[in-house]
Every structure is written in C-alpha cells, then in structure tokens.
C-alpha cells in the first residue's frame, strides 16, 4: 500500500520533449515544376535583416510528388 501511495504522489507527466521544441516555427508551401530542382531560400529575420541560405537540391521530382524540406536557422 505504501508503494502505491508513493507512486501516485510522485507521478507527473514527462514534458522533456516539449521543452526541446523551438519557441516558434514557420511553414511555407512552395509549388515547383516537375523535374530536377534546387531551391534557394532567403530568411527574413526578426531584427529586420535577411539571410541567404545555400541552395538545396531537391532531386528529381515527379508530377504530383510532394517533398518535405526541413530548414533549421538560428538567429
């Protein structure tokens, strides 16, 4: 019985993974023509500046194919 009481009293949600998420994130959808494609990105920063990222090669896309491209940028 003591073990059950301790378990219930000490139980709490594991929120470690929530703490690792960024404070904010943005999504963008871009439509590109089928074929071999690379994509250049320019980030507009919160301080008013901008930052160009190196072009990303998306590969050869088929008609109707979707591709998710994660981009990580730190201010």
| Band (74; pLDDT cuts 50, 70, 90) | low
Does this model's pTM top 0.75? no
Distance in angstroms (rounded) separating the CA atoms of residues 73 and 4: 46
CB 47 within 8 A of CB 75: yes
In a domain, 41, yes or no: yes
Burial class of 41 by CB neighbour count within 10 A (0 to 12, 13 to 18, 19+): middle
Distance in angstroms (rounded) separating the CA atoms of residues 2 and 62: 62
| Band (75; pLDDT cuts 50, 70, 90) | low
Place of tokens 């919160």: 46
State the total domains in the chain: 1
* Residue 16: domain span: 2-61
In a domain, 10, yes or no: yes
In a domain, 30, yes or no: yes
In a domain, 45, yes or no: yes
Place of tokens 């073990």: 3
């Amino acid at each position: 019985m003591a073990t059950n009481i301790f378990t219930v009293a000490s139980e709490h949600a594991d929120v470690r993974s929530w703490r690792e998420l960024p404070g904010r994130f943005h999504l963008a959808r871009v439509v590109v023509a089928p074929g071999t494609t690379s994509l250049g990105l320019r980030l507009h920063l919160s301080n008013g500046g901008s930052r160009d990222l190196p072009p990303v090669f998306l590969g050869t896309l088929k008609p109707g194919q979707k591709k998710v491209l994660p981009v990580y940028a730190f201010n």
